[in-house]
Structure 1
């Protein structure tokens, strides 16, 4: 028997239902990070029963890791693709760093910060965090390597550049969540790229 407080979702094929549950969890995480993700909150957001969520996603730890990966992976693909439109190595890296520091992605920053903290007690999430960090590192290293091959920067100068850029972006974005950051993060981005790439 259905009541006004009991979800009565329309029937969907299993793959579509699973995707709808994931999409609801992603939307929820974009609003308040991954910390509020529970079987009940995801069920409410998806308009289904908690039992249906656990049917499709029996491990909440793995589900949270998938939500995290979907959000940060989509951001990385978008930012790197946009950054690659720059004409020179400095243009490409500056575009990427400026985009990440422009303050329009604080929802994703919150997801990252909460994932770093929650990963200490969630091995599945910790593994996914490391994987996504590796992807960022590899993408930036590939762009820098292209600049080295084109003679835009020396190999010695480029060594460790990706690490330094990511450390700056991660630190400044984490600081911004508590409003402790320069007013003009774009200017900071440009100074950082100049210091790293020379």
Structure 2
């Protein structure tokens, strides 16, 4: 009997294996949150044995932290690009509100919320959360400072105003995960509060960017 030759197995490089594992972790986190990132779950998603995951990562705490950073940094880059599409400096704040409060980002919101919750028991994750919050704060400070320079905002401390705005966004998004007081006019109420914080009229910061564009 003549045996049928089998195709040779393709051996993946260490870099390819790491990319494969990291991609599986990101997919799992976006679907189920950071709490779902166990050794067995990531291995199952990547289609490998748990021992292979353990071989290519320094530890699950580090993988969770790296996964958080990758997801959140990607979102920040995307949001920054969307906001900068708005030519009117004052309206970039409105574009930010529209973009980050859009319900289509609940997957990333869950990653954020679990990052805060799991961070106290995971030093690497806590450091990653602080780093990404600093990056968001820096971006918002720039938007506010641009508005001040253009004469559109009256703000004495752009850093403090940015912290207020960031806390408001984080709180509202966290509430939305459990559909707490999901008022239909949440956008308008938020824009009014933000306008008052920045010493501007609501109409001056409202952005024409639609929810379809931010999906």
Is the shorter-chain TM-score for this pair beyond 0.5, marking a shared fold? yes
The separation in 2 between residues aligned to 1:87 and 1:45, in whole angstroms, is 42
TM-superposed CA distance for 1:90, in Å, is 2.6
Residues 110-189 of structure 1 mapped to structure 2, 5 A cutoff: 110-156=110-156, 158=158, 160-180=160-180, 181-189=182-190
Q: Decide whether aligned partners of structure 1 residues 192 and 155 sit closer, same or farther in structure 2, where only a CA change above 3 A counts.
A: closer
Preserved CA contact (<8 Å) 1:90 1:193:
no
The separation in 2 between residues aligned to 1:184 and 1:12, in whole angstroms, is 52
Partner of 1:71: 71
Partner of 1:85: 85
Aligned residues: 190
Preserved CA contact (<8 Å) 1:90 1:197:
no
Instruction: Tell me which stretches of 4 or more aligned residues in structure 1 moved more than 6 Å.
Output: none
Moved more, 177-186 or 42-51: 177-186
TM-superposed CA distance for 1:169, in Å, is 0.6
Preserved CA contact (<8 Å) 2:155 2:198:
no
1:48 and 2:39 are equivalent in the alignment: no
Preserved CA contact (<8 Å) 2:90 2:153:
no
The separation in 2 between residues aligned to 1:106 and 1:100, in whole angstroms, is 10
Structure 1 portions without partners, runs of 5+: 1-8
Structure 2 portions without partners, runs of 5+: 1-8, 200-215
TM-superposed CA distance for 1:15, in Å, is 1.0
CA RMSD of aligned residues (A): 1.6
1:27 and 2:27 are equivalent in the alignment: yes
